[in-house]
Amino acid sequence: MNIKKILPQLLTLLVVILIFGFFSYNAQVNMENRGITFGYGFLSQESSFDVQFSLIEYDGSHSYFRAYLVGLLNTILVSVIGIIFATIIGVVVGIARLSNNYLINRTAAVYVEFFRNIPLLLQIFFWYFAALRALPLPQDTEPMFGVFFLTIKGFFVPAFVWNNLDVFIYSIIAAIISIIFVRIYAKKKQENEGIQTPVLSISIGLILILPILSFIFGGVDASVEIPVIKQLSQSGYTYEGGIKLPPELISLALALSLYTATFIAECVRAGVQGVSKGQKEAAASIGLTPNQVLKLVVMPQALRIIIPPTTNQYLNLTKNSSLAAAIAYPDLVLVFAGTALMQTGRAIEIVSITMLTYLSLSISISIFMNWYNKKIAIKEK
């Protein structure tokens, strides 16, 4: 250790400590002047504000912590919806980009270039303020397939009313667990004896049959509740029953999935193109069928390239869902860093909790990704 190595480190450390010290000293002085003490005790206080859309029971009499949970759940909801649709669209467009049909290829390229070169915020605004505002009023809506109602006030879909829902859920869990066992068994069998088990059809059978059995023997019963139009006032109508998806949620999920799908499409394309032609030819030359080539040779290698950047895109989508604040979808940022902050004035605590939430989410995913990357990396001798 010589002075040339220690000096820059000490200097950097000193600068960082000075900056932090300066900030925390000022923060203390400022808070003293305003008469607030630093602390997270306010989380258990009554929040006394309402939230438009919530997955759990919530009103003004609940605590700020409950409001935080409401926001977090709404963020997770829109992220999950967005991730599902972005994956579907992204994979389809990515494969279309690889098509040798000129028209399909170009259409996919135009889609990708167009949607990824426009700011996400602009797209959210477009869907929310321009496109969804052109929808009909509840009383003028034509039902889709008789049960779905797409109106300016939101998307009304039928809801299931369950009897013995828990038995049904247990049956699905049981199906998933047995599928996992079947997969392990099939893998072992292939490694030991070289015989392939039709895992896919067995899995589909299991996930269909077990829930059906729960209907027949478990006393599970489901009926469908269709939304019905209801007059509120002279000219105000709404739908009752069923599930209401608010327009904020729809436009946010739509914009997020269309935007992120362009990036996922590029990941998929890069992944499939990244598998060298020699691999396919080699696989074919040892007598594998085209299906087997795809399943055993191309896909495992393509997925190795596709999955890491795609996970990154999922993470981006989750972080981008915070743009919800712009159209008043009650996500974590709007409910907690917006309304709760306005009410309590506790800027430091609330912003730090919000940032920590996102930070822990993305760090845990990136730790998982590092682990996964190490696991699937090609082990070279």
Is 296 a binding residue for other proteins by CB under 8 A? The answer is no
Is 110 a binding residue for other proteins by CB under 8 A? The answer is no
Closer Cβ to other proteins, 142 or 193, answer by number: 142
Site string for other proteins, 5-44 (x = CB under 8 A): x--xxx-xx--x-----xxx-xx-xxx-x-----------
Closer Cβ to other proteins, 93 or 210, answer by number: 93
CB 306 within 8 A of CB 324: no
The distance of closest approach from Cβ of residue 35 to other proteins in the complex, given in angstroms and rounded to an integer, is 14
Is 325 a binding residue for other proteins by CB under 8 A? The answer is yes
The distance of closest approach from Cβ of residue 131 to other proteins in the complex, given in angstroms and rounded to an integer, is 8
Query: DSSP string of 305-355?
Result: HHHHHHHHHHHHHHHHGGGGGGGT---HIIIIIIIIHHHH--HHHHHHHHH
Rounded Cα distance, 251 and 154, in Å: 10
Identify which range of 184-192, 222-230, 284-292, 319-327 contacts other proteins by CB under 8 A: 319-327
Closer Cβ to other proteins, 53 or 127, answer by number: 127
E strand or H helix that includes residue 238: strand 237-240
The distance of closest approach from Cβ of residue 96 to other proteins in the complex, given in angstroms and rounded to an integer, is 9
CB 279 within 8 A of CB 311: no
The distance of closest approach from Cβ of residue 362 to other proteins in the complex, given in angstroms and rounded to an integer, is 4
Alpha-carbon separation of residue 119 from 132, 284, 297, 320 (angstroms): 18, 44, 38, 11
Is 114 a binding residue for other proteins by CB under 8 A? The answer is yes
Alpha-carbon separation of residue 41 from 64, 65, 218, 283 (angstroms): 10, 10, 46, 63
The distance of closest approach from Cβ of residue 39 to other proteins in the complex, given in angstroms and rounded to an integer, is 15
Applying CB under 8 A, among 109, 186, 351, 376 the residue interacting with other proteins is 351
The distance of closest approach from Cβ of residue 194 to other proteins in the complex, given in angstroms and rounded to an integer, is 33
The distance of closest approach from Cβ of residue 323 to other proteins in the complex, given in angstroms and rounded to an integer, is 6
Tell me how crowded residue 358 is: count the other CB atoms within 10 A of its CB.
16
Question: Which residue reads 């996964």 in tokens?
Answer: 372
Residue 222 CB contacts under 8 Å (≥ 6 apart), including other chains: 160, 161, 162, 163, 168, 215
Applying CB under 8 A, among 133, 187, 188, 230 the residue interacting with other proteins is 133
What does DSSP say about strands 237-240 and 149-151: parallel, antiparallel, or unpaired? unpaired
Residues engaged in binding other proteins (CB under 8 A) = 5, 8-10, 12-13, 16, 22-24, 26-27, 29-31, 33, 99-104, 107, 113-114, 117-123, 125-126, 129-131, 133-134, 319-320, 322-323, 325-326, 333, 337, 341, 347-348, 351-352, 354-355, 358-359, 361-363, 366
